[in-house]
Amino acid sequence: MCGIVGFTGDAQAAPILLYGLERLEYRGYDSAGITVNSGAGTLLTEKASGRLANLAVRTDNGTTLRGTCGIGHTRWATHGEPTDNNAHPHVASSGKISIVHNGIIENYRKLKDWLLDKGVKFHSETDTEVVSQLIDYYYEGDLLNAVRKAVYKLEGSYALGIVAADEPSTIIGVRKEGPLIAAYTEDAAYLASDVTAILKYCRDVIYLEDDSIVVIKPGSVTCYNKYGKVQNLTPVTIDWDIEAAQKGGYAHYMLKEIYEQPRVLRDTLAGRITEDGGSVNLSEAGLTREILRSVRKVHIVGCGSAYHAGVVAKYQLESFARIACEVTLASEFRYSSPVVQPGTLCVVISQSGETADSIAALREAKSLGVSVLAVVNVRGSTISREADYVLYTNAGPEIAVATSKAYSAQVAAMTLLAIALAEFNSGVNRESLLAVLGDLRKLPDLAEKVLADVAPVQLAASRYFNRGSVFFIGRGLDYAAALEASLKLKEISYIHSEAYAGGELKHGTISLIEPGTLVVAVALCSKLAEKIESNIKEVKTRGAEVLAVTSESLAGDFADSGDIVITVPDTHELLTPLLAALPLQLFAYYTALNNGCDIDKPRNLAKSVTVE
């Protein structure tokens, strides 16, 4: 979604803003812009549709906009096409107020009509422009006061950055539902929608609360709640390594993040398996044995890949822990009239912790009186702050829009939860627990082994990269893994793909199979191998080519039916999705590479979706 950055200090603002916007590029955007206060009663604004490079060229890397205080923005269009004119910042007709916005102003039509009646002229098709015109309408020499009056009239979700020509070193930030952080050093201060934009300058960041307004001046950040009372918000220290947010020699962030998975698995498991290897300890997340013992049902919500991690967890929770589990898309949760029973634990899975639909689901669950566990990657994010319990996924910063390591970390964290809950299932004996935990501890090493053997994946991608349509099939946990694999492929290669439970293809979709259609069969679960083999026969008979992803011990079964067979080491059945994900992510990556796609920034997608 849209990215916001602001800087005020004694250095030139525009290059710092461009640097920050570059760090936010991964969130997905279609245009960008900057306003800098000249310090002489004027605002200097430049905007450009397309990539940030266009803005850098237009401003000669920021050198044409001279001034030490400013705001910048990368836009993901909602209202109005991605043109120069609709790009942010939006400057009010007087030229005195400029704003950047992430979110949607739901009552903008009403406000626009009201302002039009008062003779205000509009210059864009955006909902955002009403905010700059409204602040300008109320401005009488006190920006904070004008912002307060304007915000009072706004409905919807928003994070705003605002500057005024006559207040040369002040930036005002407003947060309602959209993520926004502020930070300061001795002689400067920053505003941003994501820590990556400012990590180079400071590590202690303040996460703004909903409905708060922040006044940012060099060396200070003052937060006010909606009643105008000063808030003392404690800064959170971000321990992410800046290197971790850079490519480190890889061609793309996505490839680097795929290869980070052994480390990510180690970090997500670290300290959560007891020293004797026989038990899971999630007390760090606030989940004591008493709380775990009381869980009767798990209701998981998430979006995109986080939802798919939830589907994996459902199979694990039901088959191993024997706990009923429902998985609902976060965007549907509110509309599905969830039935909650005593003992229901709602689990919100989210990498960013800022996905609007997941936040809404969390709030809905809490309003129904259910305890919420957040499985989140970003510390201090909204979901982590609002949940009752937080299990961090320790994946580190993920920059590529298409998730890889954060998804695996989510699956690993949910596996721990399933095992922790299984300990209260009298049917699970100590040997079974020791077996799964033993294999779980070996998993990072196995992941390393899988990632070292990339040749078969590259061969498959070079043979199949130009297929028009791909079907992924699997059963049980393999089906859950197939869902994510299919999403990965379509996200970054733009090839139409769908995942089906192996038994389901014949109920309609098999009509689409024709000579040359690619079917990717995920077949790591031994007890379902024969069934999936039959499904492979069904599609092969109709001319499909088959790429089989299976385990070493099952490879023989697929030697004849798969046109290409990729194998991963054997592991406990419950853990197979963690290994299956690796070659399938690499298959998506190399297919996209062969198609010349913009892998880290696929068209139309955003990393963090902060609108509903």
Q: Which residues are registered as beta bridge partners of 34?
A: 46, 72
Asked if 136 and 83 touch (Cβ cutoff 8 Å), the reply is no
Q: Minimum distance from CB of 354 to ligand G6P (Å)?
A: 7
Kindly tell me which of 170 and 608 has the beta carbon lying closer to ligand G6P.
Answer: 608
| 177 secondary structure, DSSP code | B
Instruction: Report how far residue 22's alpha carbon sits from residue 32's, in angstroms, rounded to the nearest whole number.
Output: 10
Contact call for residue 350 and ligand G6P (CB under 6 A):
yes
H/E element, 268: helix 261-269
Phi, psi of 142 (to 5 degrees): -135, 100
Kindly tell me which of 355 and 497 has the beta carbon lying closer to ligand G6P.
Answer: 355
Q: Minimum distance from CB of 376 to ligand G6P (Å)?
A: 8
Asked if 358 and 303 touch (Cβ cutoff 8 Å), the reply is yes
- Selected range binding ligand G6P among 60-68, 318-326, 344-352, 531-539, rule: CB under 6 A: 344-352
Q: Minimum distance from CB of 387 to ligand G6P (Å)?
A: 13
Nearest-CB residue to ligand G6P?
304
Which residue in 24, 165, 303, 311 binds ligand G6P (CB under 6 A)? 303
Which residue in 74, 128, 170, 351 binds ligand G6P (CB under 6 A)? 351
Contact call for residue 305 and ligand G6P (CB under 6 A):
yes
Instruction: Report how far residue 256's alpha carbon sits from residue 247's, in angstroms, rounded to the nearest whole number.
Output: 7
2 is catalytic: yes
Asked if 444 and 562 touch (Cβ cutoff 8 Å), the reply is no
Kindly tell me which of 484 and 533 has the beta carbon lying closer to ligand G6P.
Answer: 484
Contact call for residue 607 and ligand G6P (CB under 6 A):
yes
Instruction: Report how far residue 596's alpha carbon sits from residue 599's, in angstroms, rounded to the nearest whole number.
Output: 8
Q: Minimum distance from CB of 441 to ligand G6P (Å)?
A: 26
Phi, psi of 567 (to 5 degrees): -115, 150
Contact call for residue 609 and ligand G6P (CB under 6 A):
yes
- Find where tokens 């307004």 sit: 213
Contact call for residue 102 and ligand G6P (CB under 6 A):
no
From residue 247 to residue 286, the character string flagging contacts with ligand G6P as x (rule: CB under 6 A) and all else as - is: ----------------------------------------
Contact call for residue 304 and ligand G6P (CB under 6 A):
yes
CB contact set of 133 (below 8 Å; sequence gap of 6+): 92, 93, 115, 120, 122
Question: The tokens of 533 are what?
Answer: 């083999």
Q: What is residue 390's three-state secondary structure?
A: strand
- Catalytic annotation, pick one of 112, 405, 601, 607: 607
Q: Are strands 518-523 and 469-474 parallel, antiparallel or unpaired?
A: parallel
Pick out residues in 362-401 that bind ligand G6P (CB under 6 A): 401
Contacts for 39-44 with beta carbons within 8 Å, 24 or more apart?
A: 39/67, 39/68, 39/69, 39/168, 41/165, 41/166, 42/95, 42/165, 43/91, 43/95, 43/96, 43/98, 43/163, 43/165
Kindly tell me which of 348 and 548 has the beta carbon lying closer to ligand G6P.
Answer: 348
Q: Minimum distance from CB of 608 to ligand G6P (Å)?
A: 6
Asked if 299 and 370 touch (Cβ cutoff 8 Å), the reply is yes
Kindly tell me which of 45 and 352 has the beta carbon lying closer to ligand G6P.
Answer: 352
- Selected range binding ligand G6P among 229-237, 255-263, 351-359, 426-434, rule: CB under 6 A: 351-359
Residues that bind ligand G6P (CB under 6 A): 303-306, 350-352, 355, 358, 401-403, 605, 607-609
Task: Kindly list the catalytic residues.
Answer: 2, 607
